[in-house]
Amino acid sequence: MSALWVVVPAHQEAARLGATLDALAAQTDRDFTLVVVDNASTDGTAALARAFARRAPFPVHVLHEAEKGVGCAVDTGFRYAIAHGAALLARTDADCLPRPGWTAAARAALVRGNGLACGRIDARRDEHGPLGRAAFRTLVRGAACFGRLRPAHRRRHGYLAPYRMHAGNNMAVTAALYEAVGGMPRRPSPTDRLFLNRVRRHTRAIVHVRAMVVENSTRRLRAYGLVGTARWYLDRGPGRHGEDPR
């Protein structure tokens, strides 16, 4: 059994999950086990994942997590993988498209660094035109800058490593480190910054890996608009908007 397990949390993703699974099947390194965590979906998400499992070029496990929240689904998936022998963990989301070298880059980074690897995100090319993708990149750069400048993220607060933006839909971590920091916060999104800061308090072994590339959905930008999306990334919540559209 492979040491690398990939976890994909999915809530109401029957319309998008298929493309994510196909992107994982197209990886150059397919020596991994996939866990799809159906997070309280009422559509065909779980059925789609089970159908994919019958034709996938790697083992696929489909779990059900009744407690809604991306943190709950990720934590359930990671802990299941660890209990079944995973030493290396990677995560993407059910509306994202990992590029073909993603798993290979994640594995290499973890073997080399033995910690947390954060990849690079870009906008999906099938959801927005050039202006929408440019707006997404601007938001990402702004969020990364805000994170670096935020007073609460400075090393005097007990952090061992400088802040570097960490996108939960493009991350990899060793099983040992995941357990050592207490895992992903079991709560709705956003959870990524909380998890990163748990890791920063524990180790300096955090690397940014440009070869780990995931194309990110821009549907939050379409649902919330530019200001609403910026508010979300600044941890101000969805404002007048309801459930996270991911």
Domains in the chain: how many in total?
1
**CATH code, domain with 200:** 3.90.550.10
Q: Report if residue 125 sits inside a domain.
A: yes
> Could you tell me if residue 242 is inside a domain?
no
pTM: 0.86
Q: Tell me how far apart the alpha carbons of residues 42 and 22 are, in angstroms, rounded to a whole number.
A: 22
CB atoms within 10 A of CB 48: 23
Residue 178 located in a structural domain: yes
pLDDT at 118: 94
Is residue 245 in a domain? no
Mean pLDDT within 78-93: 98
Confidence of residue 246 (pLDDT cuts 50, 70, 90): very low
**pLDDT for res 245:** 44
- What pLDDT is recorded for position 227? 57
Confidence of residue 159 (pLDDT cuts 50, 70, 90): confident
**Greater pLDDT, 37 or 243:** 37
- Determine, yes or no, domain membership for 79: yes
Distance CA 156, CA 146 (A): 17
- Asked whether residue 158 is domain-assigned, the answer is yes
| Domain that residue 149 falls in | 4-233
Is the distance from CB of 49 to CB of 62 less than 8 angstroms?
A: yes
Most confident option among 93-107, 135-149, 162-176: 93-107
Is residue 80 pLDDT above 90, yes or no?
yes
Chain centre distance of CA 226? 22
Res 241 pLDDT > 60 = no
**pLDDT (tens digit per residue) in 126-145:** 887 787 777 777 776 766 66
Q: Is residue 198 part of a domain?
A: yes
Residue 240's contacts (CB-CB under 8 Å, 6 or more residues apart) are none
Burial 115-152 (b: 16+ CB within 10 A, else e): bbbbbbbbbbeebbeeebbebbeebbeebbebbeeeee
In a domain, 217, yes or no: yes
Backbone angles phi, psi at 98, to 5 degrees: -65, 135
